[in-house]
Amino acid sequence: MTENLAVSIVEPTIYDLSSPGRTGVTFPAPDVPKAELPQGLLRSDLPLPELGEVDVVRHYTNLSTFNYNVDNGLYPLGSCTMKYNPKINEDTARLPGFAFAHPLQPVETVQGNLVLMYQLQEWLKEISGFAAVTLQPAAGAHGELTGVLIMHAYHNSRGDIKRKKMLIPDSAHGTNPASSSMSGLEVVQIPSDGRGNLDLAALKAACDETVVGLMLTNPNTLGLFDEHLEEAIQIVHTCGGLVYGDGANLNALLGIIRPGDMGFDLMHFNLHKTFSTPHGGGGPGSGPVGVSEKLADFLPSPIIGIVEEGQDDRLPLYGFLSPAKSIGRIKSFNGHFGMFVRAYTYIAMHGAEGLREIAEYAVLNANYIKARLNGKYAIPYDRTCMHEFVVEGQWAAAPGVRALDIAKRLMDYEFHPPTNYFPLIVHEALMIEPTETENKATLDAFADALIKIAEEAKTQPELLKEAPHKTPFGRMDEVKAARDLVLCCWLPEVNE
Amino acid sequence: MNIPANLKYTKTDEWFDPSTGKAGLTDYAQSQLSDIVFVEIVVAVGDAVKSGKPIASVESVKAAAESYAPVTAKVAAINEGLADNPEILNSDPYGKGWMIEIEGADVSGLMDAGAYTKYCEERSH
Amino acid sequence: MTFIPHAPKERDAMLKTIGVKSLEDLFKDIPEKHRFPNLHLPKALTEMEAAAELGELALGNENIRTDLVCFLGAGAYNHYIPAAVDHILRRSEFSTAYTPYQPEISQGTLQATFEYQSLIAALTGMEVSNASHYDGATAVAEAVNMAFAQFRGKRTKVVLSPAVNPQYRAVVRTYTQDMGLSIEGDDPSAKLAPDPQTLIPLINDNTALVILQYPDFFGRIYDFTALVEAAHSQGALVCIAANPIALGLLKTPGEMGADIVAGEGQPLGIPLSYGGPYLGFFATRKKYIHKMAGRLVGETVDNRSQRAYVLTLTAREQHIKRERATSNICSNQGLMALAAAIYLALLGPQGLRQVAELCYHKAHYAAEKIAEVPGYSPGFATPFFHEFTIHCPKPVAEINAHLLEHGFLGGYDLGQDYPGLKDQMLLAVTEMNTKEEIDALVDVLAEVAHD
Ligand SMILES: Cc1ncc(COP(=O)(O)O)c(C=O)c1O
């Protein structure tokens, strides 16, 4: 073994870097007489770190270099749609008219914002085939909660109060069952069949007058378009249930098919996946919800509409409308407006044809990698996939190797790994979604790396088991993190 | 894998000791879950528990599971020490890692060690 | 314009590898009847055209930097954002990364989040903070979820102060509508409790959570210590929704004994941006973390013995615990939490205290000057931070229309939510408001009173 000459690259914490007496910003002295402070209600100390501006900038710049990101390279996380985020979005979202508008300003002073939101609602309706859209939900899961509350409220409003069950496929994302139980519903799991479709017999058997509905991701989390989709929707509708679409995978459907046309009753969009708003290291997202005509009255309040029709030379006045049987407000203010500006910019630049190309090339890219991996990795449901597909990260000839090891080894080839261990119905799942913004050379390099790793798994498994080797950090002791629970670099004196 | 001969077992991987009335998670269950970091007993002394109903919620570094009552009976004691030392479930599942103690139970529906051993082997493939 | 980098030759080679003739052939599973719809959308724009169109839309707004002087708060505040905050946020290493599920190549996000948790704990006087919620309103709603889970559904009452932001109260009701909970105390038509102690009789051994705000929606500040003790004596938990700038000056909710401190983090370096994205912060005591929703970063070491960070206690969350998880939250407000962390790191104790004091002094100056104008009087005699209410001689809408003509964004019309507070306005003053602006506001208010 060679001597480790590298200096540790660990960056001190912001508290380690603190030195008493420094500050990164100063503010003007008060230009008004000082008022008496509320004695007895003042805090005794304020244990924040003390740094100069340059210290802060260097600290975060250093930290940023430890992150893999879309501008670095392919980020093939299945179900996450990590496409390139156009730079222009960042500029438009920061235009002063947008960035410096208070959410409670009179509507007359924010017509630009309201027109943008109105247009975005209209475009999302057109793209999805739904009758009405709310922009309020903050993320996909938040859209789901909104949707589940709407479904429940719809049944209750018809006096149909026995409905307490939500049907959810075994391949579903965890947010689907969690959203359902937050609304007090019981979750009934529906298995998948041998081709990765929903098992129709099991669905039929579960459908009765206690069913609120079905939450369906389509294409599903195996990247497959359900071959009996219309039948499945029919079965749920026949028992009086509604069908919710988890729109996480809408990228595959833009201009290809509209969920509303297929009979979905409602669906959430993920502006942070399909419409290119950046993921921000975990958020913010944005999860608008589209609904069919009969559910429009239940949308969260308010939605954006025309409150005074225009005339000749007068423009219409845009403002807020309250749906008649609204489930209520799901978030403060007007939703993630900054994300609306980015998504609007993106859709405006694509138009109908551009959107269809997104889906076409996303599907092309996924099928291309899948074709390249064929024979090297087991592909449990081997048919034309949509924008993503799932392989098994295990081989009989490499007994000790797991999907996790493949994921870590990919880092040595300078790729972010795919999603692993999801969906739960595939053993050692690796779920690959390249998105449309990757060129052939990148896809080839990625496929080559995976193929090489498949060989290494059999010849030099320890390379995988100990990977990654070339990243600044190695594998983590997750047990220590959970047992020691150090969640703060600084612990306050606690007043019990 | 450790499957003591004197205990009875459930399909959901709980053990029950008819001689002491104690019940807990099997060795198979703890090894599947891996490093356990949280356990919450969700029943209290005096509660009547029904076989198959949750008695505890367990979380490990990578998984979450519920533990169910192996038999229908009344809870006589719960293991108060577990909450602060959930790792005992990994290190001593049949001893210090017991979860609840119950009174007056009918064990007829439970598996013996032989049947449970077979049941675990089937699932390992 | 699209962002698809394929040359036709490459596309054709890829189709050949797949074994299909055309892109269309990839979509045979799609029901033909509905395949390839004609979408009615405007013609695609080039980047240059899009920049112009968005610029035009933005000009359709009056903004509070160049067009209007802002005295409006009510849950979203106009504060100075140091330039370094956005420069760091714009680094694509932070902005275009995903949730840090792969810690080896995500230490930037993980350490920054860990530090954010530390800063929020320090600010609120609590032991742990999670990695964020969507906004202040949903963070408070998640406090209800947590309390409900903590008592395993056995306590079914929430006592909600009517002096909590009406939007937070609305969101709590929306979230909990199907949970079988009862919410009490939150009656805006009732006479507004002059003193929060009047909530005490509502708290009993069926109460899971008491929700208060600090400063409250009217800007008032109270020491909630006795109220928290009363709640604890019934075994209930207490959530205090706090304004983080106020915590630069005021006694912490932690010191008052709160079990949960949640709130809107927007004042910490996040632009108003017409309502979002903002930041829900959420801090609690260590003993409750297993029932807390949201992501959590913990310190550990890697296999090279380097200090490092990972997402920890993840089995609590929806992706593992599914229908038994406390909440469904997945994506949170990562980048906004980073903004808050940078803001707090830049200001430090001196800067934050300075901002808080500026807000306090300027608001008190404004309140005093306005009270001197005939026709106006203070709504409450209680101490306040940087927001206060005034009785107006005319309907608030009329006064605001007049203020707008003079370039002022006036206060919040309390009559909208509280019938008993008709003709009362809630004004916010921050470090951004100069004495000249305040004096000018007072002059216009005097003018409207006489019209
Ligand atoms: C299929 C699916 N559903 C729901 C979600 C949750 O979306 P969000 O993280 O925006 O809340 C995800 C996120 O990864 C997903 O992949």
A493 pLDDT above the threshold of 50: no
Note the CATH number of domain C69-80+349-450: 3.90.1150.10
Cα separation, C387 vs C367, in Å, equals 9
**Structurally, how many domains does chain A consist of?**
2
Q: Which of A414, A144, B56, A13 is nearest to C297 (CA)?
A: A13
- Rounded to an integer, the average pLDDT of A276-304 is 97
By residue range, what is the domain housing residue A445?
357-481
C62 pLDDT above the threshold of 70: yes
Please give the share of chain C, as a percent, with pLDDT higher than 70.
99
Cα separation, A167 vs B60, in Å, equals 27
Cα separation, A291 vs A264, in Å, equals 8
Evaluate if pTM is beyond 0.95. yes
Of A9-18, C9-18, C278-287, C401-410, the one with minimum mean pLDDT is A9-18
Please give the share of chain B, as a percent, with pLDDT higher than 70.
99
pLDDT (0 to 100) of residue C1? 79
> Who contacts B78 (Cβ-Cβ below 8 Å, separation ≥6)?
B41, B43, B44, B45, B99, B100, B101
The answer, yes or no, to whether any atom of ligand 1 lies below 6 A from the CB of A80, is yes
Q: Which atom of ligand 1 is nearest to the CA of A139?
A: 10
CA of C105 to the centre of ligand 1 (A): 21
pLDDT (0 to 100) of residue A7? 54
pLDDT tens digits, B74-95: 999 999 999 999 999 999 999 9
The answer, yes or no, to whether any atom of ligand 1 lies below 6 A from the CB of A140, is yes
Q: Do B37 and A483 touch (CB under 8 A)?
A: yes
Q: Do C114 and A13 touch (CB under 8 A)?
A: yes
User: Which of B34, B37, B67 is the mutation pick for testing C, counting most C CBs within 10 A?
Assistant: B37
The answer, yes or no, to whether any atom of ligand 1 lies below 6 A from the CB of A139, is yes
Q: Which atom of ligand 1 is nearest to the CA of A143?
A: 11
**Residues in chain A within 8 Å Cβ distance of C3:** 83-84, 86, 276, 436-437
Residue A48 lies inside a defined structural domain of this protein: no
Per-domain boundaries in chain C: 69-80+349-450, 83-344
Round the average pLDDT of chain C to a whole number and report it. Answer: 96
Instruction: Say if residue C277 is preceded by a cis peptide, omega within 30 of 0.
Output: yes
Cα separation, C64 vs C68, in Å, equals 5
Domain at B8-106, CATH from 2.40.50.100, 3.30.870.10, 3.30.565.10, 3.30.70.920: 2.40.50.100
Task: Please check whether residues A267 and A231 belong to one and the same domain.
Answer: yes
Q: Which of A249, A152, A180, A196 is nearest to A425 (CA)?
A: A196
- Residue B96 near residue B81 (C-beta atoms within 8 A): yes
- For residue C187, name the pLDDT band (cuts at 50, 70, 90): confident
Residue A39 lies inside a defined structural domain of this protein: no
Per-domain boundaries in chain B: 8-106
Cα separation, A351 vs B98, in Å, equals 63
pLDDT tens digits, A334-390: 999 999 999 999 999 999 999 999 999 999 999 999 999 999 999 999 899 999 999
Cα separation, A14 vs C114, in Å, equals 10
Task: Please check whether residues A339 and A435 belong to one and the same domain.
Answer: no
A2 pLDDT above the threshold of 80: no
Note the CATH number of domain C83-344: 3.40.640.10
pLDDT tens digits, A452-472: 999 999 999 999 999 999 999
- For residue A496, name the pLDDT band (cuts at 50, 70, 90): very low
**Residues in chain C within 8 Å Cβ distance of A64:** 88, 91, 93-94, 108
The answer, yes or no, to whether any atom of ligand 1 lies below 6 A from the CB of C22, is no
CA of A287 to the centre of ligand 1 (A): 10
- For residue A8, name the pLDDT band (cuts at 50, 70, 90): low
Q: Which atom of ligand 1 is nearest to the CA of A217?
A: 1
Residue A261: CATH number of its domain: 3.40.640.10
- Rounded to an integer, the average pLDDT of A479-487 is 95
Round the average pLDDT of chain A to a whole number and report it. Answer: 95
pLDDT (0 to 100) of residue C193? 67
- For chain B, how many residues are written? 125
The count of other CB atoms within 10 Å of the CB of residue A147 is 33
**Residues in chain A within 8 Å Cβ distance of C86:** 94
pLDDT tens digits, A414-448: 999 999 998 889 999 999 999 999 999 999 999 99
- Residue A355 near residue C2 (C-beta atoms within 8 A): no
- Rounded to an integer, the average pLDDT of A217-242 is 96
A285 interfaces chain C, CB cutoff of 8 Å:
yes
pLDDT (0 to 100) of residue A120? 98
Residue A23 lies inside a defined structural domain of this protein: no
Residue A382: CATH number of its domain: 3.90.1150.10
Cα separation, B54 vs C77, in Å, equals 47
Cα separation, B36 vs A290, in Å, equals 41
- Residue A272 near residue A379 (C-beta atoms within 8 A): no
Residue A66 lies inside a defined structural domain of this protein: no
Any chains having at least 3 CB pairs less than 8 A from chain B are A, C
The answer, yes or no, to whether any atom of ligand 1 lies below 6 A from the CB of A173, is yes
Q: Which of A316, A348, A380 represents a domain boundary (last residue)?
A: A348
- Rounded to an integer, the average pLDDT of C140-156 is 96
Q: Which of A348, A374, A390 represents a domain boundary (last residue)?
A: A348
- For residue B107, name the pLDDT band (cuts at 50, 70, 90): confident
| Most confident of the following: A7-11, A346-350, C182-186 | A346-350
C50 pLDDT above the threshold of 90: yes
**Residues in chain B within 8 Å Cβ distance of C298:** none
pLDDT tens digits, A57-99: 999 999 999 999 999 999 999 999 999 999 999 999 999 999 9
A3 pLDDT above the threshold of 50: no
Task: Please check whether residues A343 and A432 belong to one and the same domain.
Answer: no
Task: Please check whether residues A104 and A240 belong to one and the same domain.
Answer: yes
For the CA atoms of C225, C231, C234, C239, what is the dihedral angle to 10 degrees? -120
- Reduced to 3 states (helix: H, G, I; strand: E, B; else coil), residue C270 is coil
The count of other CB atoms within 10 Å of the CB of residue A250 is 26
pLDDT tens digits, A107-153: 999 999 999 999 999 999 999 999 999 999 999 999 999 999 999 99
> Who contacts A88 (Cβ-Cβ below 8 Å, separation ≥6)?
A345, A349, C47, C50, C51
- Rounded to an integer, the average pLDDT of B49-70 is 95
CA of A238 to the centre of ligand 1 (A): 28
Residue A398 lies inside a defined structural domain of this protein: yes
Task: Please check whether residues A368 and A306 belong to one and the same domain.
Answer: no
Task: Please check whether residues A439 and A306 belong to one and the same domain.
Answer: no
A171 pLDDT above the threshold of 90: yes
Residue A43 lies inside a defined structural domain of this protein: no
pLDDT (0 to 100) of residue A494? 42
pLDDT (0 to 100) of residue A492? 47
B114 pLDDT above the threshold of 60: yes
- Cα of C252 vs its chain's centroid, Å: 18
Q: Which of A288, A319, A348 represents a domain boundary (last residue)?
A: A348
pLDDT (0 to 100) of residue C366? 98
pLDDT (0 to 100) of residue A495? 40
C451 pLDDT above the threshold of 80: no
C305 interfaces chain A, CB cutoff of 8 Å:
no
The answer, yes or no, to whether any atom of ligand 1 lies below 6 A from the CB of A141, is yes
Q: Which of A477, A75, A138 is nearest to C100 (CA)?
A: A75
Interface of A with C in 358-397 (CB under 8 A): 358, 360-361, 363-365, 367-368, 370-372, 383-384
Query: What number of H helices and E strands is found in chain B?
Result: 3, 9
**Residues in chain B within 8 Å Cβ distance of A483:** 35, 37, 87
